[in-house]
Structure 1
Amino acid sequence: MRIKELDVFRGFAALAVVLYHYTTMYNKMCNVSSSWELPYGWLGVPVFFILSGFVIYLTVDKSKSAIDFLKKRFIRLYPTYWLCLLITLCIEYFSGMFLADLTWKDILMNFTMFQQFFNLRHVDGAYWSLLPELLFYGLMAFLMKIKKVRSYYLYNAILLIIGIIHLVFPLPIIGKILSIHYILLFMIGIAFYRIYNKMNTKWDYVFIIFNYIVGTKLYFNAQEHHSISNVFSYFSLALIICLYYLFVKGCFSFLAKFRVLIFFGNISYALYLIHQNIGYIIINNLEDFTGRNMAMFIALGISVILASLITFQVEPRIKPIVKKLLYNNNN
């Protein structure tokens, strides 16, 4: 079941992240300045994390077991990821950019999505957010296995306690490896799912507030690549949470009319995976001829075309094959 309002959220977040990378992050990487900046485009990432927490319960509800849940997540993530990874590797190879910094161990481990867990380099910088997703899926599968997936207050309270302990006594295994700051953002999404489906009590709102307070403090403490230690950043994430609240209360039904953003929402996963290094390569090779702004829009256009082809032409052909292989092996 697709919720069009969430597709609009995805589309908006995807565009924000792409333009953030093509402007602010590219400028920092090349030590240049330009008339185009989107310094708060990174807020698209917490939008995605909260949204992932929301939609994961849709998958949980449709899964027969923890293994079935993990298979569904594998089919959703890995075929598209592998294709985008191969395309990125090919373009990096022929361009001569980025690949020189990678070892064969880095490249091979990237196919697992667990390279960050072993402190190895990413083939594309955008891949950093995949590990928190996988760890969250692992947590949900574990809770399904022990039949505690519905005990939201219990495991959210445990995660909050771990987060508070990490604030006082920082431990690398909790911060960098277990990504507790991201997991608390996922928990906000789960609470909103419960409210959306009228499964909640007043305690869900309490947990949203505490997840926000602890999660954002941990989130901002963990970030090093952009300037976020200011009141506006905290306010912005609070605003995102308010927007999700308005969504679950039915205030955003009109968003279903925004077909362009729904389109970007549909291609958001492939676009996120394909855009960063390929976009940097395109901008770097074209900006001297076309100007920086035109090079950026060409990079955006090529990334959107690639993501559209992957989403609408390749995925529908690959995923049924992967699904058949996974579920037939069960018989």
Structure 2
Amino acid sequence: MSLRSSAGESRAGGKGRTSAGAAPGGRLAVLDGVRVLAALGVLLYHYFALASAWGEPPRNIFPIANRFAVYGWLGVEIFFLVSGFVICMSAWGRGVGDFAVSRISRLFPAYWVAVVFTALVLFTWPEVREVKAFSHVVVNLSMLQGGLGVPNIDDAYWTLFVELKFYVLFALVVMRGVTYRNCVLFCAAWTLAGVVAPSADSGVLSFFAAGASSPYFIAGIAFYLMRRFGQNAVLWAVVGVQFLLAQHHVHARMISSLGRAATGQTPAWPAHLIIALGFVLMAAIALGSLDRVQWRWLQHAGALTYPLYLIHMLAGLTFIHHFRRDVAPVPLVIGVIAGMLLLAWLIHRFVERPLGRLLRDRLRRGMQDIRSATASGPSTGRFPAQPSAPEAERIPVSR
């Protein structure tokens, strides 16, 4: 997902296009605005639509807010749309090593802190959820728990494993070269995999097809290609097919998010409309219609969306549950949201930026060492080649 907002990832790309909506560094401010809306939607869904924190249905406490919050899970789908756009943009002109370094250095620093923070909260107050084993925390630090059958420390982390699958697949494009043609072929191949997977008897295909999520990533890629090269019938066809597939999966996503009983009582048309508006918004970004949106505060707000997403769910629900009898609902939820925003800023300012930079520099040096050793041959790396046995016997051993 990536949910991560970074200056290097939000730069405008285009065929001689100058983005009025870009910050001095070339950042698309409107992308940060989309991230903010998506993050707030997810947060409101967790705090105003899930009963685990309040001990009773939230609609009894927040009847009006609950009507809107039950659709906040769609923020994840919007994040996937933005991710397809941003990853295609940030991978352009990079090799697979640089692509991997970029992803690792931007995802993991904030994630490590979020896992530790959430685990500490759950260990302290195991009211909403408890950590079954310390080993689960350790595995979660790898971000690979989704493939190992280990529970997520925070339920929101399921999206990160979906993002990782997208990165692995798109790395194949990066290996061949991120070109217009290769991106379109990738979109076609992944679409076919998503359509075929449900009826195919292949665990690997089903694992990587990600049929409910892939339409958003693919549409995001197509929207970026429109921005970079201009619109045409092929790209609109790609977007149109993904839009139809996304709409097809709405009912299943409502069941997984709200439960079957609640889904039967919740109108589906707002969810379909929100998805349509998300596609329209990304189309406007692709065509440059929102380039004049250049509010500088969006960049700062967008930078908080990833750490906020990582820390807000189970820790926030636990705080609400623990203090719900001592503090009135409205000031309690406002206080929790304010606290999460403050913590997200601290993580961004004192963890993401310095540790991300350090991790990126170290990984780049490691990649350079690998390239140098590969180019120089097996015996001309940093360490001298080991001598043959007879020669080794003649070397005196210092004592």
TM-score, structure 1 normalization: 0.90
Distance 1:313 1:104, change over 3 A: closer
Q: Are the counterparts in 1 of residues 119 and 131 from structure 2 also a CA contact under 8 Å?
A: no
In structure 1, the partner of 2:318 is 281
In structure 1, the partner of 2:257 is 225
Query: 2: distance between equivalents of 1:221 and 1:174?
Result: 20
In structure 2, the partner of 1:252 is 290
In structure 2, the partner of 1:235 is 273
Matching residue's letter, 2:35: R
Q: Which moved more, 1:139-148 or 1:267-276?
A: 139-148
Q: Are the counterparts in 1 of residues 139 and 145 from structure 2 also a CA contact under 8 Å?
A: yes
Structure 2 residue 73 is matched with structure 1 residue 42: yes
Query: 1: distance between equivalents of 2:352 and 2:330?
Result: 31
Note the 1:80-95 alignment, pairs <5 A: 80-95=110-125
Give the secondary-structure state (helix, strand or coil) at the position aligned to 1:239: helix
Q: Which moved more, 1:17-26 or 1:90-99?
A: 90-99
Q: Which moved more, 1:157-166 or 1:74-83?
A: 157-166
Matching residue's letter, 1:190: I
In structure 2, the partner of 1:320 is 357
Q: Are the counterparts in 1 of residues 312 and 340 from structure 2 also a CA contact under 8 Å?
A: yes
Query: 1: distance between equivalents of 2:54 and 2:293?
Result: 35
Q: Which moved more, 1:293-302 or 1:232-241?
A: 232-241
Instruction: Give 1:303's match in structure 2, choosing from 333, 336, 340.
Output: 340
Instruction: Give 1:293's match in structure 2, choosing from 326, 330, 354.
Output: 330
Higher helix share: 1
Structure 2 residue 102 is matched with structure 1 residue 72: yes
Matching residue's letter, 1:30: G
Q: Which moved more, 1:23-32 or 1:206-215?
A: 23-32
In structure 2, the partner of 1:264 is 301
Query: 2: distance between equivalents of 1:173 and 1:127?
Result: 21
Query: 2: distance between equivalents of 1:232 and 1:88?
Result: 32
In structure 1, the partner of 2:150 is 120
Shift of 1:114: 1.4
Structure 2 residue 48 is matched with structure 1 residue 17: no
Give per-residue Cα distances to partners, 1:189-211, cap 9 Å, x unaligned. 01110111225431000000101
Matching residue's letter, 1:231: W
Query: 1: distance between equivalents of 2:56 and 2:203?
Result: 30
Count of residue pairs the alignment pairs up: 329
Q: Runs of 5+ in structure 1 lacking a partner?
A: none
Instruction: Give 1:30's match in structure 2, choosing from 41, 55, 58.
Output: 55
Shift of 1:173: 4.9
Give the secondary-structure state (helix, strand or coil) at the position aligned to 2:73: helix
Query: 2: distance between equivalents of 1:265 and 1:310?
Result: 14
Q: Are the counterparts in 2 of residues 57 and 190 from structure 1 also a CA contact under 8 Å?
A: yes
Q: Which moved more, 1:112-121 or 1:247-256?
A: 247-256
Give the secondary-structure state (helix, strand or coil) at the position aligned to 1:289: coil
In structure 1, the partner of 2:214 is 183
Q: Are the counterparts in 1 of residues 127 and 321 from structure 2 also a CA contact under 8 Å?
A: no
Shift of 1:287: 1.8
Shift of 1:220: 4.2
Q: Runs of 5+ in structure 2 lacking a partner?
A: 1-10, 12-26, 370-399
Moved segments of 4+, more than 6 Å: none
Query: 2: distance between equivalents of 1:255 and 1:26?
Result: 37
In structure 2, the partner of 1:59 is 90
Q: Are the counterparts in 2 of residues 220 and 229 from structure 1 also a CA contact under 8 Å?
A: no
Q: Are the counterparts in 2 of residues 166 and 174 from structure 1 also a CA contact under 8 Å?
A: yes
Shift of 1:118: 2.1
In structure 1, the partner of 2:17 is none
Q: Are the counterparts in 2 of residues 22 and 280 from structure 1 also a CA contact under 8 Å?
A: yes
Matching residue's letter, 1:66: V
Query: 1: distance between equivalents of 2:184 and 2:130?
Result: 47
Give per-residue Cα distances to partners, 1:265-290, cap 9 Å, x unaligned. 11000000011111111111222121
Largest Rg, 1 or 2: 2
Shift of 1:170: 8.1
Q: Which moved more, 1:22-31 or 1:318-327?
A: 22-31
Query: 2: distance between equivalents of 1:316 and 1:112?
Result: 20
